[in-house]
Amino acid sequence: MFAFINQSITKMKERILEIIKQENLTNAEFANRLNVSPSTISSVLTGRNNASLDVISKIHQVFHINLEWLLYGKGDMRTDSTGNHAVHGMPDLFAENPENAHTVADNSKYRKEIAPKGSENALNMPMQQVVMPPAPPARKITEIRIFFDDNTYETFKPGK
């Protein structure tokens, strides 16, 4: 199994080199176009590291490369001019569909929007009342005692 994975990684490096050659770029220019460091591309091409998902995604977006071709060597190298490609003969779900384009606009006036259920619960929640205990009455000084080193003391009472 590891031999298969290692083989597909080696072939992916070859496919990346093919993109660089076809675009007539140096490795540094290729890295610059992808907005990654040249050392990242160098480590992928020398086999020190595998291409990260970020690098693969950027290759796909910047150079319009078919992901199945880049990862597995299947299909055409490039996607079509819109960036879409069929996977196993299935059309892209997000592509414009000219057959139904006119019916979507016509049915839009009959569409009913449904509010998310989470907002209904927020409005119907009972209000919680927080009861605070009464503040304790203000304390008053009733007596002050001062102790001296000869074991005597004096008592002071306010207002007297």
The 10s digit of each residue's pLDDT in 93-140 is 555 555 555 554 555 566 666 665 555 555 566 677 778 888 888 888
Dump pLDDT digits (tens) for 78-95: 876 444 544 444 555 555
Label residues 100-118 b or e (16+ Cβ within 10 Å = b): eeeeeeeeeeeeeeeeeee
Q: What would the CATH number be for the domain defined by 2-72?
A: 1.10.260.40
Q: How many residues does the chain have?
A: 160
Cα angle for residues 48, 74, 83 (degrees, 5° grid): 95
Give the model's pLDDT for residue 2: 47
CA dihedral defined by 17, 18, 23, 25, rounded to 10 degrees? Answer: 20
**149 pLDDT higher than 90:** yes
Helix, strand, coil percentages, rounded to 5, for the chain: 45, 10, 45
Map out the domains of the chain as residue ranges: 2-72
Q: What is the pTM of this model?
A: 0.47
**150 pLDDT higher than 90:** yes
Lowest mean pLDDT among 7-16, 121-130, 138-147: 121-130
Within 10 Å of residue 42's Cβ, how many Cβ atoms? 14
Q: CA 114 to CA 103: how far, in whole Å?
A: 21
Residue spans of alpha helices (H) in 26-92 = 27-34, 38-46, 53-63, 67-72
Give the model's pLDDT for residue 102: 52
